Structure 1
Amino acid sequence: MGGGVTERLPEGSEPLLPAKREGEDEFSGASFAGAVFNLSTTIVGAGIMALPATMKVLGLVPGLVMIVLAALLTDASIELLVRFSRAVGAPSYGAVMGDAFGWWGRRLLQVCVVVNNIGVMIVYMIIIGDVLSGTSSGGEHHYGVLEGWFGTHWWNGRFFVLLVTTIVVFSPLACLKRVDSLSYTSAISVALAVVFVIITAGIAIVKLIKGQIPMPKLFPDVPDLASVWELFTAVPVLVTAYVCHYNVHPIHNELKDPSQIKPIVHTSLVLCSTVYITTSFFGYLLFGESTLSDVLANFDSNLGIPYSSVLNDAVRVSYAVHLMLVFPMIFHALRLNLDGLLFPSSGPLSSDNRRFSVMTAVLLLVIFLSANFIPSIWDAFQFTGATAAVCIAFIFPAAITLRDPNSIAKKWDKILSIFMIVLAIVSNVVAVYSDAYSIFQKKSSPSIA
């Protein structure tokens, strides 16, 4: 992955992202700050809203420790990925997988990125629709922000709002060919995540001063075996909280100084860990045992302080805009990997305007239609998304290390890799079981759902 490596790449491992060409748009390389914002935006998506609920399951102390451990494990897996990429001059995740496992390894990685990212973006669009236009579940309608402000009209209905968002926001940003072009929107996206943290922390502190918040649970309650099993349901949320590996290479390829990739990864993980820890702590402190699996849903009622409705709207609007700006970063990796999957022998995607345009338009259309017309899409991607995400983040980097085609892995690397694979498999089994169980419960108890 490092600059200056001139060895011939293994057959079938051409870059998914073309290397920078001389004089191309007079682009001199991405900055450190821009790369940090882009990688951080890749990390902080919708998963942030599930973290306070993990505190309810694990308790504050184990929960916060687990967030830090997940960040350290992610840092280790990216470090392995970077090191093995550098050893063969692989300019993409697919290339280093191809070097270790050949054609099928590269294709498997690309399939996982496509499945993970298209699922994530459909879910993002569903959440944006829920926040702005409202949602109905269990016979009850939860009003969206626009409905609350202006009443119910055709122009603030779900379909029209998502159509406008796709045309006005997603389409222009999706047409940008370089990751670095998204650095400013990524900076705004990270800032909006911080705004959410500040508002949540502010409300919690005010209520704490007023004595309206009880002592939070520091450690989990485990009165029986079922309670012990419930603790493991928090593992998939934590394991997938920092998935960003598919964008490490595109960001690295555009850097002004490629040697900065390690400090960029460290800085991004520290920034995201800080956001995650403060969100988890103050979110759980604020709502306690009433914390919902998506804490955003808690901001749908009276908070018990002045200007409650204004703060609720500020939280929801800032989060919806945050997701809109995360969308193009995830889309960029989706398009590159799908192109590599469908057209492995074609030239770079960025140099073929027709292929680039058609693929962008088709992907946006598929995501838009799925978010509007396939009601069970969330359930489907609870399974495939969790599986693909842990493969991308832990199983594949660990497998490359254990395969060690260039004999550069140390003993500790292999021990760590075995641990990653075991953790990934356990989290997958737990995720699939808990998702299947919750879906079964919903179907068997429709009145409760």
Structure 2
Amino acid sequence: MAPVNTRKEDTSISHLLPVKYLEDEQQYDGYNQASLASAVFNLSTSIVGAGIMGLPATMKTVGIIPGIVLIIFVGFLTNYTIDVLLQYTYECKATAYSGVMADSFGRVGRVLLQICIIINNFGLLVVYLIIIADVLSGSTISSVHHTGVLEEWGGGETWWNSRVVVMLFTTLFVLAPLVCIRHLDSLELSSAISVGLAVVFVVVTAAIFMYKLAFGTVSTPQLFPTFSADASAILGLFSVVPVLVTAFICHHTIHPVLNEMRNESDHKKVVQFSISLCTALYVMTSAFGYLLFGEDTLSDILSNFDADLGVPYGTVLSDIVRVGYALHLMLVYPVLNFSLRLNVDELVFPRAVPLTYDNRRFYLVTCCLTSAAFLGASFIPDIWDAFQFTGSTSAVCLGFVFPGAVVLRNRRHIFEGRGKKLLAWFLILLAAGASIMAITGDIYELFE
């Protein structure tokens, strides 16, 4: 379902948000110069993060046909939940996701949402830095060392390709300039490049698969899952649910992106184009990744590119994929940081002027968040496990639990009908099931 503008015709607001604060203490500075392309690239970048590399493994688990169907299904559910948020936004004239929750559930709802966004986004930023360091500097897991791209180029580990130096350089000279940008519209080019790098991964993977297919060196793919009574096999089937459910989470970025648009009539197009684009990317990445590596597909397909690909210029292609992925995460980082910064600021300074109007506060919050992410990634490498737990829980709350709760609360009486109520319950139960499955899988791996 596409978002529908349900506001009255006599409103004087020409964009999603009013410039003045509402009683729910939301922030908005009135900027509305973003184009359709800018909004699509920024929203798509918010969707396509690190999770894309885990999708090929879902095909290995459930088979190609069910995997494709599930990706498309979750895409439709995401479109519906965004539609719910926008319908309610138009009705209550909220300026942010937090405004929707405040109107429905009061201050408690607003604070709960902000805490979930902070946990989800900050966790992702730390994980992105860890992945960037792993890709460029290498990593050692269970006594097995995965060589980084810079390690290969430098002929081994040196001071300039060490993890701390790589993360420090990336933070100071790549991320810092990007996170200091005050409007998402200014990230149009970087977001376009980020989406382009995801496309490059699909093209390279597809090209390698076609080459191997021509020489008959690919295995027959599994179209449907094979069932087994083994506990690990059952948990394996369930493990794809949290991966897929969290793959499209972008709800915390919807309002910041759409607020900046020149034409409110384009909101519907932005959501549809972005979700359609990301669905296509997910399907192609999953399918070609699994078709290329077959039963050897790892939970993070990037690890498959550490080995010999068995094609001409395999090392070059492997480096293109890995460097492209690291750059992709660097360009996703500022988009997630944007909504993180807004919510941290609203939580800590609820009555202050919009953040873009206060230079001192803007740079203080930005520096604190960037420094905290760097320190977390540098000195607490095991933090990944903690964020797997909190991230899966907070992400599904943002994408499914809160929109479902807004429908059930129905304070503005715009979600009438039994069908909408049932779908809202389905969203909440799906989110709860995904979290339970993710937590159960993590616990099982610890004691396996």
TM-score by length of 2: 0.94
The answer to whether the aligner puts 1:432 opposite 2:432 as a matched pair is no
Question: Does the C-alpha gap of structure 1 residues 436 and 10 become closer, same or farther in structure 2, counting only changes over 3 Å?
Answer: farther
Match in the other structure for 1:416:
423
Q: Distance in 2 between matches of 1:19 and 1:7?
A: 7
Q: Deviations over 1:67-126 (max 9, x none)?
A: 000000000000000000100100100001000000000000000000000000101000
The answer to whether the aligner puts 1:39 opposite 2:39 as a matched pair is no
CA RMSD of aligned residues (A): 1.6
Farther-moved stretch of structure 1 (344-353 vs 222-231): 222-231
CA shift at 1:246, angstroms?
0.6
Match in the other structure for 1:205:
210
Aligned mate of 1:19, from 23, 30, 38: 30
SS at match of 1:172: helix
Aligned mate of 2:87, from 83, 86, 92: 83
Contact residue 36 and residue 264 of structure 1 kept, 8 A: yes
Match in the other structure for 2:356:
350
Q: How does 1:156-235 map to 2 (within 5 A)?
A: 156-224=161-229, 226=231, 227-235=233-241
Contact residue 27 and residue 353 of structure 2 kept, 8 A: no
Q: Distance in 1 between matches of 2:375 and 2:333?
A: 16
Contact residue 38 and residue 186 of structure 1 kept, 8 A: yes
Q: Distance in 1 between matches of 2:183 and 2:134?
A: 30
Q: Deviations over 1:301-347 (max 9, x none)?
A: 00111111111101000000010000000000000001111111111
Q: Distance in 1 between matches of 2:378 and 2:365?
A: 20
Contact residue 122 and residue 370 of structure 1 kept, 8 A: yes
Q: Distance in 2 between matches of 1:404 and 1:9?
A: 25
Match in the other structure for 1:4:
12
Question: Does the C-alpha gap of structure 1 residues 10 and 403 become closer, same or farther in structure 2, counting only changes over 3 Å?
Answer: farther
Report the AA paired with residue 121 of structure 2.
N
Question: Does the C-alpha gap of structure 1 residues 7 and 305 become closer, same or farther in structure 2, counting only changes over 3 Å?
Answer: closer
SS at match of 1:255: coil
Match in the other structure for 1:289:
295
Q: Distance in 2 between matches of 1:16 and 1:104?
A: 18
SS at match of 1:100: helix
Question: Does the C-alpha gap of structure 1 residues 60 and 212 become closer, same or farther in structure 2, counting only changes over 3 Å?
Answer: same
Q: Distance in 2 between matches of 1:17 and 1:377?
A: 33
The answer to whether the aligner puts 1:249 opposite 2:255 as a matched pair is yes
Contact residue 12 and residue 102 of structure 1 kept, 8 A: no
Aligned mate of 1:111, from 112, 115, 118: 115
Match in the other structure for 2:366:
360
Contact residue 18 and residue 95 of structure 2 kept, 8 A: no
Match in the other structure for 1:444:
none
The answer to whether the aligner puts 1:335 opposite 2:346 as a matched pair is no
The answer to whether the aligner puts 1:99 opposite 2:107 as a matched pair is no
Match in the other structure for 1:446:
none
Contact residue 379 and residue 439 of structure 1 kept, 8 A: no
Q: Distance in 1 between matches of 2:50 and 2:412?
A: 37
Q: Distance in 1 between matches of 2:230 and 2:29?
A: 53
Q: Distance in 1 between matches of 2:134 and 2:18?
A: 50
The answer to whether the aligner puts 1:306 opposite 2:315 as a matched pair is no
Match in the other structure for 1:273:
279
TM-score by length of 1: 0.94
CA shift at 1:414, angstroms?
1.8
Contact residue 133 and residue 163 of structure 2 kept, 8 A: yes
Q: Deviations over 1:24-74 (max 9, x none)?
A: xxxx61000110000000000000000000111111110110000000000
Unaligned runs of 5+ in 2: none
Q: Deviations over 1:116-169 (max 9, x none)?
A: 000001010000000001111222321100110112210111100110100111
Q: Distance in 2 between matches of 1:136 and 1:230?
A: 24
CA shift at 1:9, angstroms?
9.1
Q: Distance in 1 between matches of 2:115 and 2:441?
A: 24
The answer to whether the aligner puts 1:239 opposite 2:250 as a matched pair is no
Match in the other structure for 1:74:
78
Q: Distance in 2 between matches of 1:302 and 1:62?
A: 30
Unaligned runs of 5+ in 1: 21-27, 442-449
Q: Distance in 2 between matches of 1:142 and 1:53?
A: 19
